[in-house]
Amino acid sequence: MKLLTPLFSTLAAALLAGAASAQIVATTNATTDTIVGFSPVDGSLVSSDVISVAPTTSVSAIAVGLEIWVSEQTGDRVVRYDHGGNVLGVIGPTFPGGGLDNIRGIAFINNTVYVTNSGTANGAPGNAVVCFDTSGNYLFHFLTPNAPSPFSVMPWQGDILVTGSSNDDVHRYTLAGTSVGTFHNSTLSFTHQLAPASDGNVWCGVFTTGVVAKFDANTGLQLSSFPASGARGVFELQNGNVMWTNSSGVHIYDVGTSTSTQVFAGGSYHLNLLPTGVSFHKPYGAGCHAYVQDNSNFLQLFDTVPLAKAALDGNALRFTFTGNGYAATWLPGVAGSMYVPPTPAATVVADASATTTTFTPSAAIPVPGGTAASWTISSEGVLTAGSPGNQGSLSTVTLANTAAATGLAFYNWINQNPTEAGSGKIKTEEVGGVLCVTFDGVELASGTPTVAPSTYQWQIDMATGDVTMLWTSLSVSNSTSDMLVGCTLAGAGITPVSQVLSSANGHLIAPDGIQLPLQLSAAPPPVINPSTVSTYSITNLPEIAPGSGTYLWALLLSVNPLPAGFDLLGILTTVPGCSTYLSTWDIILSGVTLSPTAGVPITFSTPVFAPGDAIGAQAAALFDASFPLLNGEAGGFVFSNGVLSTTFVQ
């Protein structure tokens, strides 16, 4: 690591002074799902992406020690991040002792985090402030009947002020939650965030009234206000102007001209100071390649019933059980000889429109992954191993709708109705060790002629687990409804593609092949004084060759990160989507492991590193190009996402 010294020496002098004390004014932005940072001096934009946050309504981002805590109003939780955007922990929606619901502003006061709460779901207390320690443990809560629907909390003269949407606009409580009395109450409507003013008084964003008001420090009387449509957050800048937010963005009120100017677009919320001189590792970019090889479906989507009838009538499709799936074989012209007519002893099932029945054969039947003691049949033509049945009674036939279904199922899926006049019934019966599930002349629910029944059957060998689908006579309807036929294994997956069933010649149905992208992460943060050993963790390494049990990795370090990335297609890779996130590869460390993971320790210390150094890192893996990866990558290399490591003094 001594090789890094000359690379960083030019940065050290400029970054040593004062980096750890720098701050930004931060707000959550619901449009981009990021935290946006501004200069506390004049409100100029510092970063439009301090960190990314969850795609939900986040109200406040505050500093708690070296962490950033974000309140999610619609997520009913507080998420703890480091300054690289890595999630360190989550508080809520439930926790030992209670829960959170419809939370808003938060504040860190005397080593306690105060969270305003409004709802009662998840075991939450309703209109209240809920308190946690710096590790996220629940401490206590207190109700706020004087400030219903509380939206903000702020330390004030040894107590706290809480805003509410009705009753008192601002109420004063002790730190333990005892009411001290009304701080401010007037015709203002829906007070949002509170912030200290430089003259010792209190700013308040007022949402419904559409102003930012100033209250007297001691009496709480309104001293002044300026127009601020839908005001949410408020913060006084060091130059005396006032930053405020609403659903359209961030604005600055110029006290000299008495006008507001929008300086950033996007739904914004509360404004709080966050430190910037904090060490962190921040992931960026994406590793390659994420790919799913769809092996677990064999389905054909017919655009019309006539097309299905032409392809299926008189034929059969056998699924021979292989242990983890099936081998599919098309059997033309055998349906008539194989068909087993139901006897009078057969059981009628799913005897209604858009319904399902779960039934239990005399013995459990082998299926991939185990056995099925029960089966579910829908009147729409879906037979599922176990319960509930795939698609339920859904009659919207699409390939996409099968992607989220989680059961092993065999499909003759189209809208059918055994209660239609003249229709036959759906029947189950065991014959000679074979479970037969028969649509015995069941009416199609669409198209003409009105009387247009179908007869088809599933035959399941109860000893071997083999499943045969046969079509004696599909409906003569001219319906243009889609019909989906075939098999899908258990487990949700990607949307399958339509295949031609008659092309099955030992077609194998097996668990999906999954190729995970190469991933790089690092921890703990790279503090340089005292020195820190950060471990760069590489996961999802591909084998050098299939079955070798050997994995070759490299860790690339650079003083020139490249956040936008550069695709290496045609250089080191053969499939798009593999990028380098470093402009230069200044140091290359490599090794061999016997597992698909590797950990590489890097020591961060002075004088090799200086405060504010930004070091880019990326992992690479090598494999034998004569054995392409599942997605066809045959370049012999895959690359991870990047990690930006920024150093500071503790």
The mean per-residue pLDDT over the stretch 52-62 comes to: 95
User: How far, rounded to the nearest angstrom, does the alpha carbon of residue 112 sit from its chain's CA centroid?
Assistant: 30
Please check the confidence at residue 16 and state whether its pLDDT lies above 70: no
Separation between Cα atoms, residue 294 and residue 499, nearest integer Å = 12
pLDDT at res. 168: 83
Q: Is the pLDDT of residue 12 over 90?
A: no
Of all residues in the chain, the percent with pLDDT exceeding 70 is 97
For residue 104, is pLDDT > 90?
Answer: yes
| Whole-number Cα distances in Å, 633 to 337, 353, 431, 545, 622 | 48, 49, 50, 13, 12
Distance CA 567, CA 572 (A): 9
Q: Do residues 376 and 386 lie in contact, with contact meaning Cβ atoms separated by under 8 Å?
A: yes
Place of tokens 């937010």: 245
Q: Nearest CA to 580 among 551, 612, 558? A: 558
Cα–Cα distances (Å) from 534 to 88, 204, 504, 521, 528, in that order, read: 16, 43, 53, 10, 11
How does residue 205 score in pLDDT terms, banded at 50, 70 and 90? very high
How far apart are alpha carbons 279 and 277 in whole angstroms?
7
Tokens representing residue 426 in the block: 């759906």
Burial of 451-481, coded b for 16+ CB within 10 Å and e otherwise, reads ebbbbbbbbbbbeebbbbbbbbbbbbbebeb
Peptide bond into 93 cis (omega under 30): yes
What's the pLDDT at 109?
Answer: 97
Give 87's strand partners: 81
Least confident of 164-173, 244-253, 536-545, 550-559: 164-173
- Using the predicted structure, report yes or no on whether residue 558 has a pLDDT greater than 70: yes
Instruction: State yes or no: pLDDT of 14 exceeds 80.
Output: no
pLDDT at 34 over 50: yes
Please state, in angstroms and as integers, the Cα–Cα distance from residue 140 to each residue in 79, 98, 149, 504, following that order.
19, 9, 18, 64
- Average pLDDT, stretch 421-447? 95
φ, ψ of residue 76 to 5 degrees: the values are: 55, 40
Over the stretch 576-591, which tens digit does the pLDDT of each residue have? 999 999 999 999 999 9
* 462 Cβ contact list (under 8 Å, min separation 6): 361, 362, 363, 365, 430, 433, 434, 435
Query: Which amino acid is present at 346?
Result: A
pLDDT grade for 618, boundaries at 50, 70 and 90: very high
Separation between Cα atoms, residue 451 and residue 96, nearest integer Å: 61
Distance CA 28, CA 106 (A): 13
So what's the pLDDT on residue 59?
Answer: 96
Which residues have CB under 8 Å from 337's CB, separation 6+? Answer: none
pLDDT band at 546 (very low <50, low <70, confident <90, very high): very high
Q: Domains for the chain: give ranges and CATH numbers.
A: 23-276 (2.130.10.10), 282-290+517-646 (2.60.40), 294-513 (no CATH)
Kindly report, residue by residue over 144-191, the tens digit of the pLDDT.
999 999 999 999 999 999 998 877 899 999 999 999 999 999 999 999
Has residue 119 got a pLDDT over 60? Answer: yes
To which H or E segment does residue 212 belong?
A: strand 211-215
Q: Structure tokens of 441?
A: 């002349």
Q: Report residue 277's pLDDT band, with 50, 70 and 90 as the boundaries.
A: confident
Mean pLDDT of 637-647: 96
First to last CA, the chain: 21
45 strand-pairing partners: 38
Per-residue model confidence (pLDDT) at position 394:
86
Find, among 242, 195, 203, the residue nearest to 222 by Cα: 203
pLDDT of res. 21 = 43
